[in-house]
Structure 1
Amino acid sequence: MLTVHHLNNSRSQRVLWLLEELDVPYEVRKYQRDPKTLLAPPELRAVHPLGKSPIVEDDGQVVAESGAIIEYLVDRYDTGRLAPLPGMPERQRFTYWLHYAEGSAMPPLLLKLVASRIASAKMPFFAKPIARKIAQKLQADFVDPQLKTHLSYIERELTQNGWFVGGGFSAADIQMSFPLEAAMARGGMASQYPHIASFVRRIHQRPAYRRALERGGPYSLLS
């Protein structure tokens, strides 16, 4: 049986959701982040050298990286319902959004998280004002403009039909869910980007999404 190595509050929630949409039987092995560092436990390195999640094992194959996992699963188990078949006109657009999610959308969100942690980190009192100023400048001069550029771009794309590929839901929407959930979890974003907010509400209503939450456990991006 296919096994998903699932880390709490992580990208692996998308893999569980995709498997529920595909109706593929699978086993979940759960791992918990370190409560202080928020890093994955070392046990995951026994599965893959990088020790990160998601990882899937299927028929002796170990597949890592969210986009690669989604491509593998749709190529093996889908029949054109959740991904355009190779050679179809929409396949290139599908592939684009699979890579865009982690290659372009996530970096400014991660930098914003890092900057906020630098500003609030414990350090000698004389260093704190300097660190806070550096973090604020990083956000104001680079992170926030980049984030606005990407979210505005995504907002425009979703005005076409509400999904990222063709006229309906696909695995590309599953891949894009994580950065958009992360963005909407920040206060005030929903009013600025109503199409993104609508997208996030609609995916949360899908029965397969809800089943994946039951299998994977609490997901703090939703809080």
Structure 2
Amino acid sequence: MITLHHCPQTRSMRTLWLLHEMEASFQLRSYPFDRTLREPGFLTLSPAGRVPALEIDGERMFETGAITEYLCERFSPERLGRMPGTPERMSWLVWLHFAETVSQHTAALTQQHVALYEDSMRSPIVMKLEAARLVKCYDAIEARLEDPLGARDYLLSGGFSAADISVAQAVYMARHFARTDGHPALSAWYERVTDRESFAAALPKGDGIYAQDFYAPWPVE
């Protein structure tokens, strides 16, 4: 039995998308993005009070990268995963974990734009700096997809994988703060990978963290 502990529009969406793509049987427990995650009961699942947390066969896991690696090894080693010893293993690991690089900048911007309620607590410098860092991440994805040896439809030449799920979910979040204009290969790839039933199934069914589709750096000049 698999139980995913999830907050809409957070990193746990990455795991939710993956489970739907695998057509795995699982239970979903959704939480508001608030102090509920700091309660003692939840901290037994994820000691830092973060999502995702995964219960599987009596064991508990946290950290999206570790969860993705484990689920792929167990349930989809050849399609969504790339196992040790295979030619694309190194690239799969790199891009799988690059998603967290994107997410850390998005998390900083979420704090600035959403979590901090008082304008006096916000930093225009941090907002602009982190948004610029997201664009640098887009540059890296663009360069990968526009490989000199031939443009790729997916991050790996071998086809769609959990690396695409992880990075595309991170870009889904990042697009609230940095537009993908000027990155045609990334934009085409993003439309391609999110045009899947598994992605639609992972989208929020109600309110998520973000009340706006896009948050410009503050104050708007």
Bin for the TM-score computed over the shorter chain: 0.7 to 0.9
Q: Which runs of 5+ in 2 are unaligned?
A: 214-221
SS of 1:150's partner is helix
Matched, 1:177 2:168: yes
Whole-angstrom distance in 2 between the partners of 1:121 and 1:208: 34
Which of the numbers 150, 158, 175 marks the counterpart of 2:137?
A: 150
For 1:50, what is the secondary structure of its paired residue?
A: coil
Q: Hey, what does 1:54 align to over in structure 2?
A: 52
- Please tell me whether residue 206 in structure 1 is matched to residue 196 in structure 2: yes
Amino acid at match of 1:200: Y
Extract unaligned runs of 5+ from structure 1.
none
- Going from structure 1 to structure 2, the CA distance change for 1:107 and 1:13 (only over 3 Å counts) comes to closer
Q: Which has the larger radius of gyration?
A: 1
**Counterparts of 2:107 and 2:6 in 1: how far apart (Å)?**
20
Instruction: Please report how far the alpha carbon of residue 94 of structure 1 lies from its aligned counterpart in structure 2 after TM superposition.
Output: 0.4
State the TM-score, normalizing by the size of structure 2.
Answer: 0.80
Q: TM-score, normalised by structure 1?
A: 0.79
Question: What is the distance in 2 between the residues matched to 1:96 and 1:20?
Answer: 23
Number of the residue aligned with 1:218: 206
Structure 1 residues 61-140: aligned runs within 5 Å: 61-102=59-100, 104-116=101-113, 121-122=117-118, 128=120, 135-140=123-128
Q: Which residue of 1 aligns with 2:216?
A: none
Residue 100 of structure 1, CA deviation? 1.5
Q: Which of 143, 154, 177 is 1:163 aligned to?
A: 154
Q: State how far apart, in whole Å, the 2-side matches of 1:41 and 1:53 are.
A: 11
Distance 1:117 1:209, change over 3 A: closer
Corresponding letter in the other structure for 2:118: K
Please give the secondary structure, in 1, of the residue aligned with 2:86: coil
The residue type paired with residue 27 of structure 1 is Q
Distance (Å, rounded) in 1 between the aligned partners of 2:183 and 2:59: 40
CA 1:62/1:139 → structure 2, altered by over 3 Å: closer, same or farther?
same
Structure with more helix by fraction: 1
Using the aligned pairs only, state the percent identity: 29
